[in-house]
Structure 1
Amino acid sequence: MQARKIGAVAATAVAALAARDLLQKRHALLRNFPVVGHARYLLETIGPELRQYIVTSNEEERPFSRDQRSWIYASAKEENNYFGFGTEVDVEHVQGHAYLKQRTFADALPDLHDPQAALPSAKVLGGPRGRAGAFRPTSVVNVSAMSFGSLSGAAITALNKGAAQAGSMHNTGEGGLSPYHRSGGDLVLQLGTAYFGCRNEDGSFNLSKLKDVVAGAPVKAIEIKLSQGAKPGLGGMLPGAKVTQEIADIRGIPVGKDCASPSRHTAFWDVDSMLDFVELLATETGLPVGVKSAVGEQGFWQELATLMARRDRGVDFVTVDGGEGGTGAAPRMFADSVALPFRMGFSRVYGTFAELGLTDELTFIGSGKLGLPENAAVAFALGADMINVAREAMLSIGCIQAQKCHTDKCPTGIATQNPWLARGLDPASKADRAANYLRTLRKELLKVSSAVGVAHPGLITPADVEMLNGDYEARPLAEVYGYQAGWGELSTQLAKEITALMTEG
């Protein structure tokens, strides 16, 4: 009898816990996996102790270490994101580790007490080419391209609302502009090789449809995707089973039929025709137009810079994606071994334009694990004007790095179209976390800028960073990446403008 009573009490407690998990909206994992989901949080709590004896250190996990994930989680929740008792990095022996050199004195410093951590771009996007829709982005940290289809509608909604709260922009990804992107955030519309949302029945580009899309949404710029870090130079196939009525309506494709994304564009076939296409889009929409690409052979970039040196045509921005592999599902070979890592790729692209004196005439955007302050600071030192965050933004809304993005079985409802899993993600609460993370990253960049003695991260230069090169030796960043004097720096006029903007009042 006593055992039955205990069993009944236990069953009631479990049922009550299950009901609570199903009704709460704070944790998507618990909504999708009531009761048993608590085991994950228990293991996470004792994770440091387990790893200390039988697994790995806090710095060894990939693609994001536990320390990196913990910093993002704490930032998103507005919790204490400091670390105590010193670094776990072997600071004298980690090859390639970057060190920023703080200054004792400074002429102008940013305001570190602004609760919104406003951090506008040092450049006016589209300004040098006189685009009608040229503007100064209000945030140097923005949400990178992740399509509806690869991410759930709930995740897209959360990211878009979070971007709106933080004053950041949100890139639609190549899957088209969905209703979930219309949650308040300013957009960068991405055009991939399949031209989803603005295509004809045969898959060719349709300018009229593009203009309709732009006119009906808060699109601030257009990005032509040439390739991405996850699978550069590779097309894709969306199986017919995944082409629901909703996906079909958004992308402009038939329901239930396989849809191939070509590996190359059909609206242009070389750099010269690509620039004609860029100018056509800019003229017809008035918006700044740029390209996104991972970096492989250099001939493309050299020809682009050479043609832009004539100053009659040109892109307004270049988004350089690291070849380390990101959110997109990809063959292991492509994630591991195709295209250059971000720092190598970006420095080569930047240097190609710097050699021709063009770096002030376009905005450089970096992407590839730059949502961590130390990586972002190095990107700015190399000449980036803004950064895009993808996986870090996913982590901020609850991603646990389960690495199931390609299986449609994401346990937190982010990278899936499974209705049961997606329902676990509450867009309203996760939007707040995304906004908190974006603001916190900007604050961290302001702190780093202040330590270096400048008013804006765009004023951090290669001279402010050294890279560890073996035991007890470091090399200047400029030397590591072959930068010449003045590369990675804003012009005097741009430096004065952004310093005044950051220190006025």
Structure 2
Amino acid sequence: MHARKIGAAAAAAVAVLAARDLVQKKHALLRNFPVLRHARYLLETVGPELRQYIVSSNEEERPFSRDQRSWIYASAKEENNYFGFGTEVDVAGAQGRAYLKQRTFAGPLPDLHDPQSPLPSAKVLGGPRGRAKAFRPGSVVNISAMSFGSLSGAAVTALNQGAAQAGAMHNTGEGGLSPYHRGGADLVLQLGTSYFGCRNEDGGFDLGRLKEVVAGAPVKAIEIKLSQGAKPGLGGMLPGAKVTPEIAAIRGIPVGRDCASPSRHSAFGDVDSMLDFVELLAAETGLPVGIKSAVGEQDFWRELAALMAVGDRGVDFVTVDGGEGGTGAAPRMFADSVSLPFRMGFSRVYGTFAELGLTDDVTFIGSGKLGLPENAAVAFALGADMVNVAREAMLSIGCIQAQKCHTDKCPTGIATQNPWLARGIDPASKGNRAAVYLRTLRKELTKVSSALGVAHPALITADDIEVLNGDYEARTLGGVYGYKEGWGELGPDLAAEITALMTGGRTL
């Protein structure tokens, strides 16, 4: 009898716990897998100790190490994101690792303790080419392209709300502008090879539909996607079973039918016609227009820069995606071995424009694991004006790096269209976390800049960073990647202008 009472009490306790898990909104895993997922949190608590002895160290996991994920999680939750006792990195033998060189003395610098301090772009997007709707982005850190369809509606909503709260922009991804992108953030509308949301019945580009989309949403810029780092040169396939009426309406495709995205654009076929297309979009919408691409052969970039140097056509921004960038699904070969890593690819593109004196005319955006302060700082030193974050933003709203994005079985409800899994995400609370993460990353970049003696990440130079090249040997970032300086104004005048931007005109 006593045992039965104990059993009944235990069952009642489990039922209460399950009910609590189902109704709480803080943890998506607990909503989707009540009771069972408490075991994960228990194992996570002792994870560092287990990995230290029987699995791997905090620095060995990929794509993001445990230390990197822990920093993002803590930052998003406004918890202590410091680490104790010292670095776990083999500082003397970590070949290829970048080290930033702090300055002993520096001029006036921004307040490092104000998380609300703005960190705007140093450049006006679309300004050099006189676009009617040119603007200065209010944040150097923005949400990268992740489509509704690849991500759940709840996840897109959370990211959009987070971007809005942080004053950042949100790229729609090539899947089209959905209702979930309308949470208040300024948008960058991405056009992929299928022109989802802006296509005619034959799958070709429809300018009229594009203008309708732009007119009805807070679109601040248009990004033409040529390729992405994780699967350059490949088109995508959306199986008919996943083409719900909602997705079909957003993308402008038939319900329930397979939709294959071609590997190349049909609206243009070379650099010259691409520039015509860019100018058409800019003239018809007034918006800045740019391109996104992974970096492979260099002829494309050389021809683009050459045509811009001799004519009145050009892109307003270039988003360079590194080969280490993420994706919902890609062949292993392409994810591992096609397209250059970010640092190498970006430096070659930037150098091509620098040789022709064009870097002041273009806003350069970096993408590919740049949502960590040290990686972002290196990107700025190589010439980036802004960075886009994708997987790091997903981690901030609860992604656990389960690497099930391609299976539609993401346990946190982020990279899936399964309604039961997606219900685990509470967009309001997760949106807050995304906003806190974005603000924290900006604050960390301000700290890093200050340590190097400058007021803004755009003022970090390639000489401020060295890359370890064997035991106790190092070369400057510029020496390793062949950096070519583009801005001739990296001096007191530009520093003063950027400082004024960050302080609202106040003198520090």
Scaled to the shorter chain, the TM-score interval is: over 0.9
The answer as to whether partners of 2:117 and 2:502 remain within 8 angstroms in 1 is no
Corresponding letter in the other structure for 1:474: A
1:494: how far off? 4.1
Q: In structure 2, how many angstroms separate the alpha carbons of the residues matched to 1:50 and 1:489?
A: 52
Tell me if 1:320 matches 2:320: yes
Aligned-partner SS, 2:387: strand
The answer as to whether partners of 2:360 and 2:486 remain within 8 angstroms in 1 is no
1:114: how far off? 2.2
Q: In structure 2, how many angstroms separate the alpha carbons of the residues matched to 1:388 and 1:150?
A: 18
Q: In structure 2, how many angstroms separate the alpha carbons of the residues matched to 1:180 and 1:133?
A: 24
Tell me if 1:269 matches 2:269: yes
The answer as to whether partners of 2:328 and 2:415 remain within 8 angstroms in 1 is no
The answer as to whether partners of 2:193 and 2:262 remain within 8 angstroms in 1 is yes
The answer as to whether partners of 1:360 and 1:490 remain within 8 angstroms in 2 is no
The answer as to whether partners of 2:459 and 2:490 remain within 8 angstroms in 1 is no
Tell me if 1:213 matches 2:213: yes
Aligned-partner SS, 2:466: strand
The answer as to whether partners of 1:281 and 1:289 remain within 8 angstroms in 2 is yes
Q: In structure 1, how many angstroms separate the alpha carbons of the residues matched to 2:432 and 2:166?
A: 9
What residue ranges of structure 2 are gaps of 5+ in the alignment? none
The CA deviation string for residues 409-450 of structure 1, in whole angstroms up to 9 with x for no partner, is 000000000000000010000000000000000000000010
Corresponding letter in the other structure for 1:297: E
Corresponding letter in the other structure for 1:198: C
1:500: how far off? 2.7
**What residue is the counterpart of 1:107 in the other structure?**
107
The answer as to whether partners of 2:124 and 2:136 remain within 8 angstroms in 1 is yes
Correspondence 1:19-418 to 2 at 5 A: 19-418=19-418
The answer as to whether partners of 2:357 and 2:486 remain within 8 angstroms in 1 is no
Corresponding letter in the other structure for 1:189: L
The answer as to whether partners of 1:291 and 1:318 remain within 8 angstroms in 2 is yes
The answer as to whether partners of 2:360 and 2:487 remain within 8 angstroms in 1 is no
Distance 1:122 1:95, change over 3 A: same
The answer as to whether partners of 2:325 and 2:369 remain within 8 angstroms in 1 is no
1:112: how far off? 1.2
Aligned-partner SS, 2:351: helix
The CA deviation string for residues 271-292 of structure 1, in whole angstroms up to 9 with x for no partner, is 0000000000000000000000
The CA deviation string for residues 161-217 of structure 1, in whole angstroms up to 9 with x for no partner, is 000000000000000000000111110000000000000000000000000000000
The CA deviation string for residues 92-118 of structure 1, in whole angstroms up to 9 with x for no partner, is 110111111111111231221323131
The answer as to whether partners of 1:230 and 1:328 remain within 8 angstroms in 2 is no
Q: TM-score, normalized by length of structure 1?
A: 0.98
1:491: how far off? 4.6
Corresponding letter in the other structure for 2:249: D
Q: In structure 2, how many angstroms separate the alpha carbons of the residues matched to 1:119 and 1:490?
A: 19
**Once structures 1 and 2 are overlaid, which stretch shifts more, 487-496 or 355-364?**
487-496
The answer as to whether partners of 2:141 and 2:168 remain within 8 angstroms in 1 is yes
Corresponding letter in the other structure for 2:231: K
The CA deviation string for residues 132-185 of structure 1, in whole angstroms up to 9 with x for no partner, is 100000000000000000000000000000000000000000000000001111
Q: In structure 1, how many angstroms separate the alpha carbons of the residues matched to 2:58 and 2:437?
A: 21
The CA deviation string for residues 27-71 of structure 1, in whole angstroms up to 9 with x for no partner, is 000000000011110010000110111000000000000000000
Q: In structure 2, how many angstroms separate the alpha carbons of the residues matched to 1:481 and 1:348?
A: 8
The answer as to whether partners of 1:413 and 1:424 remain within 8 angstroms in 2 is yes
**Once structures 1 and 2 are overlaid, which stretch shifts more, 279-288 or 307-316?**
307-316
Q: In structure 1, how many angstroms separate the alpha carbons of the residues matched to 2:161 and 2:488?
A: 33
Aligned-partner SS, 1:135: coil
1:482: how far off? 1.2
Aligned-partner SS, 2:189: strand
Aligned-partner SS, 1:406: helix
The CA deviation string for residues 285-340 of structure 1, in whole angstroms up to 9 with x for no partner, is 00000000000000000000000102400000000000114033100000000000
Aligned-partner SS, 1:330: coil
Q: In structure 1, how many angstroms separate the alpha carbons of the residues matched to 2:481 and 2:340?
A: 13
Aligned residue-pair number: 504
The answer as to whether partners of 1:466 and 1:476 remain within 8 angstroms in 2 is yes
Q: In structure 1, how many angstroms separate the alpha carbons of the residues matched to 2:419 and 2:408?
A: 10
Q: TM-score, normalized by length of structure 2?
A: 0.98
1:371: how far off? 0.1
The answer as to whether partners of 1:204 and 1:266 remain within 8 angstroms in 2 is yes
Aligned-partner SS, 2:310: coil
Corresponding letter in the other structure for 1:110: P
Corresponding letter in the other structure for 1:25: K
Aligned-partner SS, 1:410: coil
Correspondence 1:442-481 to 2 at 5 A: 442-481=442-481
Q: In structure 1, how many angstroms separate the alpha carbons of the residues matched to 2:118 and 2:33?
A: 38
Q: In structure 2, how many angstroms separate the alpha carbons of the residues matched to 1:134 and 1:404?
A: 39
Corresponding letter in the other structure for 2:466: E
Q: In structure 2, how many angstroms separate the alpha carbons of the residues matched to 1:435 and 1:75?
A: 10
Identity across aligned pairs (percent)?
Answer: 85
